[in-house]
Each structure stands twice: as structure tokens, then as C-alpha cells.
């Protein structure tokens, strides 16, 4: 039986990050390209990994946008 450590759950692939935030993978990749989301690659691997705290930092309270629109 393979179990994942709590630390491994703090790293997400682009696919997992997109599913978590209910957005497209291309949007996640765009945030990475724009520098709005930090991500990294393990040497020699193609898979891009994103730290969960960095991903969650993209979220902001919905009320903030409501006040700006008024």
C-alpha cells in the first residue's frame, strides 16, 4: 500500500491545481508565465509542480471585488 506524506500533498501538478480551483489548465499555465503563480520543475523532469500555499494565495475574498465595482 502506497501512502502519500503530508508534504507531498502540498505539491500539486498543473492538472491538480486546475481541478482544485475549478479552472482550466491553460489558465494555471498562464498565471505561471505571467509570474502571478510560482511553480518549479524537478531537474530532468517535465512535470511542473505548484506549492499549495502559492496556489491558494491566488484567491482573494469575493467582497473585495464588490466594493471596487461600486
CATH fold of 8-69: Multidrug-efflux Transporter Regulator; Chain: A; Domain 2 (1.10.1660)
Cα–Cα dist 54/22, whole Å: 16
- 1: confidence class by pLDDT, cuts 50, 70, 90: very low
Query: What is the chain's percent helix, strand, coil content, to nearest 5?
Result: 45, 15, 40
Q: What is the pTM of this model?
A: 0.72
**Cα-based torsion angle of the residue sequence 11, 17, 21, 22 in order, rounded to the nearest 10 degrees:** -150
**In the chain, domain spans:** 8-69
- Residue 42: the pLDDT is 87
Cα–Cα dist 56/70, whole Å: 26
| In the chain, alpha helices (H) | 14-21, 25-33, 52-56, 62-69
Amino acid at each position: 500500500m502506497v501512502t502519500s506524506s503530508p508534504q507531498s500533498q502540498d505539491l500539486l501538478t498543473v492538472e491538480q491545481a486546475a481541478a482544485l480551483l475549478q479552472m482550466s489548465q491553460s489558465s494555471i499555465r498562464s498565471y505561471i508565465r505571467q509570474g502571478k503563480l510560482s511553480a518549479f520543475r524537478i531537474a530532468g523532469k517535465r512535470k511542473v509542480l505548484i506549492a499549495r500555499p502559492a496556489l491558494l494565495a491566488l484567491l482573494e475574498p469575493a467582497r473585495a471585488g464588490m466594493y471596487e465595482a461600486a
